Amino acid sequence: MGEAKKAVEELLPQLNASKGAMKIMEGWPKAMLLELEGEEKAFYIVIDQGKMSITETLAREPDLVMHGDAKEIAQFFRGDKDITHPLAHGHLRLSRGKSLELVVFLSRILGAVHRKKMEAH
């Protein structure tokens, strides 16, 4: 399994148990395709009914398509680096979908999960 997919999978239990994150995800039912360098396979992140899941196949077109560096995306999902860094440095690009919409959504759900980590810090 690739680094980015592993990081997302590790995050899923916390994300899908967080009331704050679930509320945000309810308002953003979308599917993202991640085609990342350094990752074994492309994979999808699907947000449906307030929950996030990962799949390798999808019966419909994704709403967003992300390309970039698997290591940097993994850092983001682990809460080590903000999503604006790979975007600003060209290590994360979107060939479909709006980047600002993605940044706001991911920052909000990650913020809901990592807030305690930040406070403890």
Phi/psi zone of residue 46: left (φ > 0), alpha (ψ -120 to 50 degrees), beta? beta
- Candidate residues 82, 91, 101, 108; the one interacting with other proteins per rule CB under 8 A: 82
Q: Taking the complex as a whole, how short is the minimal distance between the CB of residue 80 and other proteins, in angstroms? A: 6
* Backbone dihedral angles phi then psi of residue 89, each to the nearest 5 degrees: -100, 10
Q: Is 71 in the site for other proteins (CB under 8 A)?
A: no
Taking CB under 8 A as the rule, does residue 84 contact other proteins? yes
CB of 67 to other proteins, least distance (A): 19
Give the H/E segment covering residue 84: helix 84-88
CA-nearest of 82, 12, 78 to 48 is 12
Chain residues binding other proteins by CB under 8 A are 80-82, 84-85, 88, 107, 118, 121
